[in-house]
Chain A
Amino acid sequence: GESVGLHLPTLSVQEGDNSIINCAYSNSASDYFIWYKQESGKGPQFIIDIRSNMDKRQGQRVTVLLNKTVKHLSLQIAATQPGDSAVYFCAGGGGYQKVTFGIGTKLQVIP
């Protein structure tokens, strides 16, 4: 079945530094690869997605990189802020496909 997993469960970053969160996936059939942010006690919030035929997409302070050769997805957050502290999930699917989530990485921003 479809599987999305993460390399690291917790990442600590100094405020102002860049953060990189990594994710490995097993199912190449996903139309999209997606990053979600979840703050404590809240539902997941969409950050950015990338279509499977692309290798890079940029948003506001975030960049997603997709390497289909090694089935690797990463989220880069520039100038990390305290408000970025949350759990980040990579996911696959989208369009008419269901979205399947990985385990999550907790990002801790050190002031």
Chain B
Amino acid sequence: DTGVSQDPRHKITKRGQNVTFRCDPISEHNRLYWYRQTLGQGPEFLTYFQNEAQLEKSRLLSDRFSAERPKGSFSTLEIQRTEQGDSAMYLCASSPPGTNTGGELFFGEGSRLTVL
């Protein structure tokens, strides 16, 4: 399978615990995005990497959220001291290099977080 993979697919945690999600993009893609999606809503942009550089962070990404892409390949999204409002689907997407790639992002299946 050469698509975007995310792990874990489901995570149930208690409020106050830390969680970490991993995303493996398509190998030749240098751009990697994290989005959050709640029921009935469209995906909300969280952050974006080009290679290992984090180029943009949404104001939605509080200090409890941190994302890394240390070697420009896989990425992790960590949420510290989780709150019930963090319950959502966390989506990762990647796209190839170049400005003429249009709007096509390749999404993974998502990591669903439930905070009790």
Cβ–Cβ < 8 Å partners of B103 in chain A? 32-34, 46, 49, 91-95, 99
- Separation of A15 and B105 alpha carbons in the complex (Å): 29
| Contact residue among A44, A89, A95 (Cβ-Cβ distance under 8 Å from B101) | A95
- Separation of A41 and B56 alpha carbons in the complex (Å): 27
Within 8 A of B (CB), among A34-65: 34, 41-46, 49, 51
Cβ–Cβ < 8 Å partners of A46 in chain B? 103-106
Cβ–Cβ < 8 Å partners of B42 in chain A? 89, 91, 101-104
Kindly provide the distance from the CB of A36 to the nearest chain B CB, expressed in whole angstroms.
8
Kindly provide the distance from the CB of B2 to the nearest chain A CB, expressed in whole angstroms.
15
Q: A32-B102, A95-B101 are in contact. Are A43 and B107 (CB under 8 A)?
A: yes
Among B14-22, B43-51, B61-69, B80-88, which stretch is in contact with chain A?
Answer: B43-51
Taking beta carbons and an 8 Å cutoff, which residues of A are in contact with B?
Answer: 32-34, 41-46, 49, 51, 89, 91-96, 98-104
Taking beta carbons and an 8 Å cutoff, which residues of B are in contact with A?
Answer: 4, 33, 35, 40-45, 48, 56, 91, 93, 99-110
Extra 15 A-B pairs, beta carbons < 8 Å, given A46-B103, A99-B105? A43-B4, A43-B93, A43-B109, A44-B91, A44-B107, A45-B107, A49-B102, A89-B43, A94-B102, A95-B100, A99-B33, A100-B45, A101-B43, A103-B40, A104-B41
